[in-house]
Amino acid sequence: MKKLALHWKILIGMLLGVLFGLLLSLMDGGPAFIGNYIKPFGTIFINLLKLIAVPLILASLIKGVSDLKDISKLSQMGGRTIVTYLLTTLTAVSIGLVLVNIIQPGKSISVDTREELVAAYASETQAKQEAAAQQKEAGPLQALVDMVPSNIFEAASSNRNMLQVIFFALFFGIGMILLPPRKVKPVKKFFDAFNEIILKLIDLIMLIAPYGVFALLAALVVEAPSLELFKALALYAITLLLGLAIMIVVYVVIVRVFTKKKASFFLKGIAPAQLLAFSTSSSAATLPVTMECVEDNLGVDEEVASFVLPIGATINMDGTSVYQGVAAVFIAQAFGLDLSLSAQLGIVFTATLASIGTAAVPSAGIVMLVIVLAQAGIPEAGLALIFAIDRPLDMCRTIVNVTGDAAVSMIVGKSIGKLKD
């Protein structure tokens, strides 16, 4: 008998959680039972995601940056690759933020439901609001000062200091690049292995995702039993899917402008990789097929594809970037928090850096979202609002990630004369 795929298990867990929560909300003592014996498992699941965030950033970023040692030999290609990836990532986050501010899915929740939601997480919400208020009172360059840690161990002790961890990881990786390979070889092997271990831990955490979703949804239903909450969730999903669709259009346009290739040529050529990306939710697992499509169907030289695509699978997560912008502001809206322009610009910056450290494995984006929420002062408990439908949306995000890698490889190939006409 064929084993049921994880995303189907998560969807089943979501449905059962909602039904279980609705059933027990009608029974005497039901909400108390869920609060005492079901919700703690959801909290444990969220804690596991938060637990893995710092190690994931350190492992992925240090490995990703140190892997760029080939830039010394391919400086022209490397520079253009990194700049193009960063520009598309910034574009993706910006698209997400513009859409979520226009559609405002979180504000479709009524005041009463919002108050119930805030009351359920009152202590955490208050702490985040106080931290945000302190941030507003700081000087104009305080954010820049806060990026540089005075003690990496202290910085790594809190997810709210994640930008400091990112700074250290980038700084450490650059140091490795500047040293002779033979001197850093033992350290490189360590972080390569460390990264593999962290990815395996994510796999293990995701095995309990259906049960975590069940607990989170059951608790959410009894704590804020409003149909409006689920309508807002549907509107959130529509907003995200619209953002992802716009990002695909952006790729088609830039491929047309820079390579003169038609949209049909590009989309048909990358379609097999997109289908695999949808089914696996993993840019890394899709990488061999992506390389085959880019080389055989899109006409990119093997030298370019073998350099650009593996880097893209590590640092180019445009679908995840759209998601982080939409999800962060949606959760803030759901909790009645008005994010200032500076706070949203902070989301752009943090999401861009976090996407560099996002592992190319299923659902790693939700781990990175913890970083974005913490940095923006948004209650992390809001993850409960979106995790139920995260897996199917993750499948769609991965399509965008893979499509972006292919588009950038064509642009880079064209710029150095290694794209077939």
Burial class (CB in 10 A: 0-12, 13-18, 19+), 15: middle
Q: What per-residue confidence (pLDDT) applies to 136?
A: 47
Q: Angle at Cα 309 formed by Cα 303 and Cα 311, nearest 5°? A: 105
Q: Can you give the pTM of this predicted structure?
A: 0.65
3-state secondary structure the chain: CCCCCHHHHHHHHHHHHHHHHHHHHCCCCHHHHHHHHHHHHHHHHHHHHHHHHHHHHHHHHHHHHHHHHHHHCCHHHHHHHHHHHHHHHHHHHHHHHHHHHHHCHHHHCCHHHHHHHHHHCHHHHHHHHHHHHHHHHCCCCHHHHHHCCCCHHHHCCCHHHHHHHHHHHHHHHHHHHHCCHHHHHHHHHHHHHHHHHHHHHHHHHHHCHHHHHHHHHHHHHHHCCCHHHHHHHHHHHHHHHHHHHHHHHHHHHHHHHHHCCCHHHHHHHHHHHHHHHHHHCCHHHHHHHHHHHHHHHCCECHHHHHHHHHHHHHHCCHHHHHHHHHHHHHHHHHCCCCCCHHHHHHHHHHHHHHHHCCCCCCCHHHHHHHHHHHHHCCCHHHHHHHHHHHHHHHHHHHHHHHHHHHHHHHHHHHHCCCECC
- The per-residue pLDDT for range 313-341, each reduced to its tens digit, is 767 788 888 888 888 888 888 877 777 77
pLDDT higher than 70, residue 193: yes
Q: Which range has the top average pLDDT, 7-11, 268-272, 389-393, 404-408?
A: 404-408
- The per-residue pLDDT for range 62-72, each reduced to its tens digit, is 776 677 655 55
- The per-residue pLDDT for range 238-291, each reduced to its tens digit, is 999 999 999 999 999 999 999 989 999 999 888 888 887 776 666 766 777 788
How far is residue 319's CA from residue 248's CA, in Å, rounded to a whole number? 9
How far is residue 273's CA from residue 299's CA, in Å, rounded to a whole number? 15
The domains located in the chain, with CATH, are 6-415 (1.10.3860)
Nearest residue to 381 via CA among 133, 168, 122: 122
pLDDT, average across residues 109-131:
58
Q: What per-residue confidence (pLDDT) applies to 240?
A: 92
Nearest residue to 302 via CA among 409, 399, 228, 387: 409
Q: Please, what is the average pLDDT of the chain?
A: 77
pLDDT higher than 50, residue 125: no
Angle between helices 318-334 and 227-259 (to 10 degrees): 150
How far is residue 331's CA from residue 355's CA, in Å, rounded to a whole number? 19
Burial class (CB in 10 A: 0-12, 13-18, 19+), 201: middle
- The per-residue pLDDT for range 129-141, each reduced to its tens digit, is 454 455 445 554 5
